[in-house]
Amino acid sequence: MDNRFWSARVLALEPYEPGEQPRMENLVKLNTNENPYGPSPRVLAAIRDAAGDNLRLYPPPDADPLKAVLASYHNLDTAQVFVGNGSDEVLAHVFQAFFAGRRQVLFPDITYSFYPVYCGLYDVGHRRVPLNGDFSIRVEDYQQPNDGIILPNPNAPTGCALPLTGIERLVVNNPDALVVVDEAYVDFGAESAAGLVDQYDNLLVVQTLSKSRSLAGLRVGFALGHRGLIEGLERVKNSFNSYPLDQLAIAGAVASFADEAYFRQTRDAIIASREVLARELAARGFEVLPSAANFIFVRHPDYPGADLARLLRERKIIVRHFAKPRIENFLRITVGTTEQNQRLLTALDVILPG
């Protein structure tokens, strides 16, 4: 490969590996935590309405209609809201704006694997704080000198949630460090810290419409925080891409918050399916970590995770396996529709000798 024009920074990068998106008929795709239900019909109608002559114009650079909706949904001012092209982009800007060049940013040893990637991209020194043996987060472990803390709540890929009191203790115990809570899965059963951003200027909450609002394909994420933090993010965004959200994304995202009934109904269905799936997997001998997300993290005492993932794939069921220390025998399984979950269980009944 000809990489002679690559900068030293790019040569050293270890990019994130997204879960695969195979196009295959009859596939049960439980590998990237997508919502098994489609978006609200009102979202689709709004996108269709927005697809017109107006596309010749640039979108509003700050996606003002969406900011207004998010601010009112979370009882905040629009100056406390930042929006981006998926929360991955929001997180990238967070690393650039607040962590770049710093020495000691903390995150769990088992967590969203994009964080170390951003550290490479933005030259961030970091330390991984080991999770407890039961894969929970111990807040006291973050009582050490640091230049910032980032963690998902619920954590990924474990699905384990920290109660809001734990998040607040992190924020209070580290008044001179920014605490970023990545709430990609919060709607599936954890407590959001969004209600605390008015009170603490060192707390930033990041959310996405990709999971609980079924809009991974639209690419919309946002951050809530003190206006000084939002201003910092805007500076990065306006030095990078003035129009990260296109007109269709803005229209679809706004409409999503206008159909709260659909949101609740699909979310509740996923939570109910998760509980059934967790029970059924436990009955088949799996250890199932307590999940507050739309996926479950499981391991079987007798079968290596990589083998199980391969055997499931042979039956057209794909789940996520991470070949990483401490979790190499786990599978992260997205909660699907009742039918998808049943196909998984039926396949396991063939794979695992009863």
Ligand X SMILES: *Cc1c(COP(=O)(O)O)cnc(C)c1O
- Looking at beta carbons only, is 253 or 348 nearer to ligand X? 253
Spatial distance between the Cα atoms of 349 and 354, rounded to a whole number of angstroms: 7
Spatial distance between the Cα atoms of 191 and 164, rounded to a whole number of angstroms: 6
Q: In residues, how long is the chain?
A: 354
- The two beta strands, 149-152 and 203-208, are unpaired
**Which listed range, 42-50, 85-93, 125-133, 314-322, lies at the site for ligand X (CB under 6 A)?**
85-93
The yes or no reply on residue 59 touching ligand X (CB under 6 A) is: no
Decide: 139 and 173 in contact? Cβ < 8 Å: yes
Interface residue with ligand X among 34, 62, 147, 182 (CB under 6 A) is: 182
Interface residue with ligand X among 28, 76, 94, 156 (CB under 6 A) is: 156
Give the shortest CB-5-to-ligand X separation in angstroms: 29
The yes or no reply on residue 87 touching ligand X (CB under 6 A) is: yes
Spatial distance between the Cα atoms of 313 and 323, rounded to a whole number of angstroms: 16
**Which listed range, 39-47, 82-90, 140-148, 260-268, lies at the site for ligand X (CB under 6 A)?**
82-90
Interface residue with ligand X among 86, 108, 148, 305 (CB under 6 A) is: 86
Tell me which residues in 297-326 interact with ligand X (CB under 6 A): none
Q: Which two tokens stand for residue 77?
A: 């001012």
Q: If you write DSSP's letter for every residue of 301-348 in order, what string do you get?
A: TTB-HHHHHHHHHHTTEEEB----TTTTTEEEEE---HHHHHHHHHHH
Give the shortest CB-46-to-ligand X separation in angstroms: 19
- Looking at beta carbons only, is 295 or 303 nearer to ligand X? 295
Interface residue with ligand X among 192, 208, 247, 341 (CB under 6 A) is: 208
Residue span 253-292 as binding mask against ligand X, x where in contact by CB under 6 A, dash where not: ----------------------------------------
Interface residue with ligand X among 36, 221, 244, 336 (CB under 6 A) is: 221
Spatial distance between the Cα atoms of 164 and 149, rounded to a whole number of angstroms: 16
Spatial distance between the Cα atoms of 263 and 265, rounded to a whole number of angstroms: 6
Tell me the sheet residues that pair with 296.
333
The yes or no reply on residue 184 touching ligand X (CB under 6 A) is: yes
The yes or no reply on residue 112 touching ligand X (CB under 6 A) is: yes
The yes or no reply on residue 39 touching ligand X (CB under 6 A) is: no
The yes or no reply on residue 88 touching ligand X (CB under 6 A) is: yes
Q: Work out the angle at residue 324's Cα, subtended by the Cα atoms of residues 321 and 330, and round it to the nearest 5 degrees.
A: 40
Residues that bind ligand X (CB under 6 A): 86-88, 112, 152, 156, 182, 184, 208, 210, 216, 221
